[in-house]
Structure 1
Amino acid sequence: MTDYDVIVIGGGSSGLMATINAAQQGTRTLLIEKNPKLGRKLLLSGGGRCNVTNRTTREDLITHIPGNGKFLYSALNQFDQEDIIAFFNQAGVELKEEDHGRMFPVTDRARTILDTLVDIINDLGVTIRMKDPVDSLIYDRETKRVKGLTTVAGETITANSIILAAGGRAYPKTGATGDAYAWAKKAGHSIERLYPTEAPLLSDDRIISEKLLRGVSLRDVNVTVWNGPVGEKAIVNHQMDMIFTHFGYSGPAILRCSGHVNQYLHATGEELCHLSIDLAPNETLEEMKQTAEEAREKQLTNILKQWMPERMAEVVCLLANIDATKPYKQLVHSEVDALWETVKTFPLTATGSQPIEKGFVTGGGVSTKEVDPKTMESKFMQGLFFCGELLDINGYTGGYNITAAFVTGTIAGQYAAWGSFA
């Protein structure tokens, strides 16, 4: 007889949900975690408030998970965003909806979510082992079944099903150091190239090296990533806030673009990726020109200030090669064209992003082609299941990654439990 029916390795968002769903089937379940505490990354999510999901349509959810979101269709048919909300409501956690469908606990504390999950696990009688890192998994090559694991301390623990929920490589201070990739490879799985997503971008642009805009924040601008020079073919665009830093660019719009930038640079071998900012995306060029014409006696910076910070207006004029103190009425046609082109497609370049360890989400991971999308079970090793960031799935901030974690964790937990009885 095995020591456990199901072992879950990793006590993050997906692992906690997997543990609950396995134990709810009546299994003897072990949750093993190398950290001294559970849910360290969960406590940091949503700015410490834990954005538990996003109340949006199925299609919109998939769109906001650009890294293999379509893999989740089968899982979402069994457990989706509304089920996540119902799960927490039934557990006594009241949620509230904020902008763009983001769902938070009314307490505004991620601790509320973590404590709720841990309380459920304890009530289910799950065995929890902390500060107990796993060394390797044991596979039976003849039957192609997982048999158990060995710990770094040298102990062997057997199980009928094992769920790998050990996370990716982003945010290593939470314990995410990519240990499970080796265990997956040993079972025959491919690991898709790891790259940073939701990470600030690095740049050698003049505005960065000369600190022309350091610390300047832009509200509700539209950032586009281009496949080649600006204006050729857009890869993606996001209308959100951004900020200029001492090393490049950051803020929500930039973070959402970062994974696409890294993928472009890798795929093309180029040293630079071109981006642009529409500094006033909610107004047409004609509307802006009309507004400027009505104030044609004013200096350019005074006109542009209604759409952007003054320092930004000064740099727009600098890039357009126009004296910022000029009245609008003194501009010649070529200067007018240069001014508005810079306002609507302010050029940036990025050389890449901060490293994966400084990103919040890992791009790449265990190939989704080698995992059953209905059950999260390995196609190569019976009884081996995957969930969370370890999989080659990544989404934008705003509740999308944790939704993928809760969904895949739920499905993996249920099927791992049912498979353990087979």
Structure 2
Amino acid sequence: MKKQVIVIGGGSSGLMAACTAAEFGASVTLIEKNKNLGKKLILTGGGRCNVTNNRSEEEIIAHIPGNGRFLHSAFNQFNQFDIMNYFTSRGVALKEEDHGRMFPVTDKARTILETFIEELKNQNVTVRTNAIVEKILFSENHEVTGVKLDTGEELPADSIVLATGGKSLPRTGSTGDGYRFAKKAGHTITELYPTEAPITSPETFISERILKGLSLRNVALSVLNKKGKKVTTHQMDMIFTHFGVSGPAALRCSMFIHQTKKRDKTDVVTMSLDLFPDKSLAQVEQQMNRLIKDAPDKSVKNGWKDLMPERYLLFGLEKCEIDANQTLKSLTPKEIQAFAAFCKAFNFQADGTHPLDKAFVTGGGVSTKEVNPKTMESKMTKGLYFCGELLDYNGYTGGYNITGAFVTGHTAGYHAAIESK
């Protein structure tokens, strides 16, 4: 008799778990509360679905700063190259873009979703959409026995895979149901917080929108602790907004804003912006002095205009109390040093990020200490498996979170199908 596996949640990790469990011989039912499967999947990668990353396993795990080490055992069973092969062997051509990001050649996330839907059909998975799980059923000796739907219908199961997602983007169906189920099974839910979210700032120059809409390319943005030491630094693009900062560098710093606030017991943390991360302070000063020597009679705002965007130049000159209209030759060594220092380390305050419901990724979740990393099975309840964003791990944008979803989904689905009670 086939093993009965129920997968709750039809997102990235749930789709992979359901297809895998069926592939390895289980009779699978996939339950999704939305009308359609993959509601969040089709939003990933800007609607193009960045399916994984072509970097090494060590690099990928380094880009999953929230408990990435937990994934090592799962990667040993199904890794980024297996993900690529999973899709290419099913007729999906992939292409590599910058930073190792892998996309379908169609540039459509729907291509990936349709591949899963076709696989569900091929593996005879029973798909129940518009179905809401009210609770998970357990035996007296802490083994799963099935689920009860909000209609009162009960479905028996030998194994259950929880793939319900986090609490980010609730409009996609990620409303935290899995945390409630996990708690009932005796699990600890670590504090939830938004990650990969734009950063908010109480600074006057932000509220007055002085730099709103200004993009800076290839800068280094850092989060500093109360001792002034760098907690993290990301060298990428960023943009100033009407509420703070956003763009890739800011999104990657966002989780560290929450962690540093909590660790330092403070309401605000200091961020530092380095406009020239590939040059030393001395090299920046030398570059400025060369421009002074080449055109001593030019005004500062015209003589230094090629160094950076004009708005940032004028903003920095005002910060350093330098008259933008004075000639370059009239600058004092002290003024040149002050402006070079501004370019290398403009510090400003951040007080948080956009809330969890507006973030793309949830930090925190089911404690990884209570989950077997080799199987994704609960250490508290036999037959209960976890995968995806529900677990307390999180990565940066660039294909790292979805890689974690597919890797844990495959691991959970495989073991849910083959492990005996």
| TM-score of the pair, normalised by structure 1 | 0.96
Q: What is residue 154 of structure 1 aligned with on the other side?
A: 152
RMSD of aligned residue pairs (Cα, Å): 1.3
2:318 aligned with 1:318: yes
Q: What is residue 405 of structure 1 aligned with on the other side?
A: 405
Q: What is residue 416 of structure 2 aligned with on the other side?
A: 416
Cα offsets for 1:27-75 (capped at 9, x unmatched):
1100000000111111010001000001111111111000000000001
Q: Which amino acid aligns with 1:148?
A: G
Q: Which amino acid aligns with 1:345?
A: A
2: CA distance, partners of 1:367 / 1:303: 56
**Displacement of 1:399 after TM fit?**
0.2
Q: Which amino acid aligns with 2:282?
A: E
* Structural mapping, 1:96-107, within 5 Å: 96-107=95-106
Is the partner of 1:40 in helix, strand or coil? coil
Query: Does structure 1 conserve the Cα–Cα contact (< 8 Å) formed by 2:147 and 2:154?
Result: yes
2:396 aligned with 1:396: yes
Is the partner of 1:193 in helix, strand or coil? coil
**Displacement of 1:302 after TM fit?**
3.0
* Structural mapping, 1:78-97, within 5 Å: 78-97=77-96
Gaps of 5+ in 2: none
Is the partner of 1:256 in helix, strand or coil? helix
**Displacement of 1:337 after TM fit?**
1.9
2:234 aligned with 1:235: no
Say if 1:267 and 1:291 are closer, same or farther in 2 by CA, change over 3 A: closer
| TM-score of the pair, normalised by structure 2 | 0.97
2: CA distance, partners of 1:90 / 1:30: 24
* Structural mapping, 1:198-217, within 5 Å: 198-217=196-215
Q: What is residue 138 of structure 1 aligned with on the other side?
A: 137
Query: Does structure 1 conserve the Cα–Cα contact (< 8 Å) formed by 2:285 and 2:337?
Result: no
* Structural mapping, 1:11-90, within 5 Å: 11-90=10-89
Number of residue pairs matched? 417
**Displacement of 1:328 after TM fit?**
2.8
Is the partner of 1:366 in helix, strand or coil? coil
Q: Which amino acid aligns with 1:404?
A: G
Cα offsets for 1:353-400 (capped at 9, x unmatched):
010000000000000000000000000000000000000010000000
1: CA distance, partners of 2:204 / 2:340: 20
1: CA distance, partners of 2:257 / 2:304: 29
Gaps of 5+ in 1: none
Is the partner of 1:295 in helix, strand or coil? helix
**Displacement of 1:303 after TM fit?**
4.2
2:294 aligned with 1:295: no
Is the partner of 1:338 in helix, strand or coil? helix
1: CA distance, partners of 2:302 / 2:55: 40
Query: Does structure 2 conserve the Cα–Cα contact (< 8 Å) formed by 1:293 and 1:328?
Result: no
2: CA distance, partners of 1:364 / 1:129: 28
2: CA distance, partners of 1:415 / 1:305: 61
Aligned with 1:269 (options 254, 260, 265): 265
**Displacement of 1:144 after TM fit?**
1.5
**Displacement of 1:152 after TM fit?**
1.2
Which stretch of the first structure deviates more once superposed, 315-324 or 376-385? 315-324
**Percent identity at matched positions?**
53
**Displacement of 1:197 after TM fit?**
0.3
Q: What is residue 380 of structure 2 aligned with on the other side?
A: 380
Which stretch of the first structure deviates more once superposed, 280-289 or 70-79? 280-289
1: CA distance, partners of 2:200 / 2:72: 34
Aligned with 1:258 (options 234, 237, 254): 254
Is the partner of 1:143 in helix, strand or coil? coil
Which stretch of the first structure deviates more once superposed, 9-18 or 314-323? 314-323
2: CA distance, partners of 1:115 / 1:276: 44
